[in-house]
Amino acid sequence: MNGTHDLEQAADADNGGALNPREAARLLEQTSREARRQFNLSPPLLTALMGGVILVAYGALWLSVREQHPYTGPSLGVIGLVYATVAVAITVSMKVYRRATGGVSGPVARQRTVEGVAILLSYLGSPVLQGALKYYGASDAIVYGVIPAAAPLIIVGTTVAGIAASKADWPQFGAALAVVTGGVAAAFVGPIGAWLVAGIGLFVGVVGYAAATAWQRRAVGNV
Amino acid sequence: MTEEALDPLIHAPARLRIVATLAALPEGDALSFTRLQDILQLTPGNLITHLRKLEDAGYLTTEKTGNGTASRTSIGLTGRGRAALEAYTAALRGLLGGL
């Protein structure tokens, strides 16, 4: 009986006469919007929220070191808080990633996976630099201050900028450039200010990207 | 312009939703049958009926990979299907006076 019911439903849905142009336009707009939402890797609201969380985390790091003379690095409590924040951010990102890529296959989907791996690998750059600098006797201010604050922004930011430029994704390119600029500025303001400047650079890049994608989404209308 | 200008293959609620959903994917990418069904909330029989019509018209392609329980059907919009949706959208715009 279920098959009969299906065929009846199909016949009902096949009735194009029941759909006037205005209803069709609305249905097309709603469906396209929902589909874009389903396949979107960076939902603007969530991205903006991440920007806020990043600012709070870097702000906490800055607050924990701003009275240090000489510089010894962020406190363990704050580092734990930052790691917990990062863990939550990764969990949420994975959930969004799974929804956006679930059941999707093809050349662009494969390309996305490769890009994700490249970005993850670029995160290794900063700890490698820290290890090398520690090995060569650099001060704590450099190893636990300037480098961990500035290097990830410069290394990961340039990786993302390169990927974005290759796809002509200019909002993402602009956001990555803002993050790289924040990283470069953070590298020259000392170990204490580096955390604050890096946090602001990341916040501007991430929230700017969220705003740009939200604007783009609003501008894209089918009818 | 009259409603005759609207492609009858797309101008049906279920097929319009199928084509619009697949068009949201980057060109060349495809979606699994189960994910498409999940997004559109259509019964398998209903979805198959509409997919067959669109495939017969050359608007989409289906590809089956694997065997038994591991088998998977992927559905992708063809260049012809994408062009048909663009023409349909343009016709709708014309009918609604650019709204």
Tell me which chain B residue has its CA closest to the CA of residue A223: B93
Q: Which domain holds residue A60?
A: 44-219
In a domain, A10, yes or no: no
Rounded Cα gap, residues A142 and A125, in angstroms: 15
Task: Name the minimum distance, in Å, from the CA of B72 to any CA of chain A.
Answer: 9
Average pLDDT over residues A154-167: 95
Residue A45: CB partners within 8 Å, gap ≥ 6? A210, A214
Give the C-alpha distances (Å, rounded to integers) separating A222 from A47, A167, A214, B52, B54: 24, 23, 16, 25, 20
Q: Taking 50 as the threshold, does the pLDDT of residue A1 lie above it?
A: no
Q: Taking 60 as the threshold, does the pLDDT of residue A3 lie above it?
A: no
Q: Taking 60 as the threshold, does the pLDDT of residue A15 lie above it?
A: no
- Please answer yes or no on whether B49 and A10 come within 8 Å at the CB atom: yes
In a domain, A3, yes or no: no
The most confident of A66-80, A209-223, B33-47, by mean pLDDT: B33-47
Cβ atoms of B73 and B51 closer than 8 Å? no
Higher pLDDT, A42 or B17: B17
In a domain, A35, yes or no: no
What is the per-residue pLDDT across B15-44, written as a single tens digit (0 to 9) for each? 999 999 999 999 989 999 999 999 999 999
Residue A9: CB partners within 8 Å, gap ≥ 6? B42, B43, B45, B46
Residue B93: CB partners within 8 Å, gap ≥ 6? A223, B99
Q: Which of A17-21, A66-70, A125-129, A136-140 has the lowest mean pLDDT?
A: A17-21
Both tokens of A74, joined, read 């962020």
Q: Does A167 touch chain B (CB under 8 A)?
A: no
Task: Check residue A14 and give its pLDDT.
Answer: 55
Indicate the pairing of strand A104-105 with strand B30-32. antiparallel
Other C-beta atoms within 10 Å of B36: how many? 22
Task: Name the minimum distance, in Å, from the CA of A95 to any CA of chain B.
Answer: 16
In a domain, A21, yes or no: no
Rounded Cα gap, residues A47 and A45, in angstroms: 5
- Please answer yes or no on whether B12 and A27 come within 8 Å at the CB atom: no
What is the per-residue pLDDT across B54-81, written as a single tens digit (0 to 9) for each? 999 999 999 988 877 778 899 999 999 9
The domains located in chain B, with CATH, are: 3-94 (1.10.10.10)
When CB atoms are compared, the residue of B27, B38, B92 closest to A24 is: B92
- Please answer yes or no on whether A21 and B3 come within 8 Å at the CB atom: yes
Task: Check residue A34 and give its pLDDT.
Answer: 92
Residues of B whose CB is below 8 A from A103: 31-32, 34-36, 38
pLDDT over 90 percentage in chain A: 56
Tell me which chain A residue has its CA closest to the CA of residue B53: A14
- Please answer yes or no on whether A15 and B12 come within 8 Å at the CB atom: yes
The interface predicted TM-score of the complex, written ipTM, equals 0.90
Mutation for testing the A interface, residue in B21, B29, B61, B63 having most A CBs under 10 Å: B29
In chain A, positions 88-117, which contact chain B (CB-CB < 8 Å)? 102-109
In a domain, A199, yes or no: yes
Q: Does the predicted TM-score (pTM) go above 0.90?
A: no
Residues of B whose CB is below 8 A from A102: 35
Beta bridge partners of B72: B65
Q: How many domains is chain A built from?
A: 1
Q: Taking 70 as the threshold, does the pLDDT of residue A116 lie above it?
A: yes
Cβ atoms of A178 and A154 closer than 8 Å? no
Q: Does A2 touch chain B (CB under 8 A)?
A: yes
Residue from A149, A182, A162, A169 nearest A209 by CA: A169
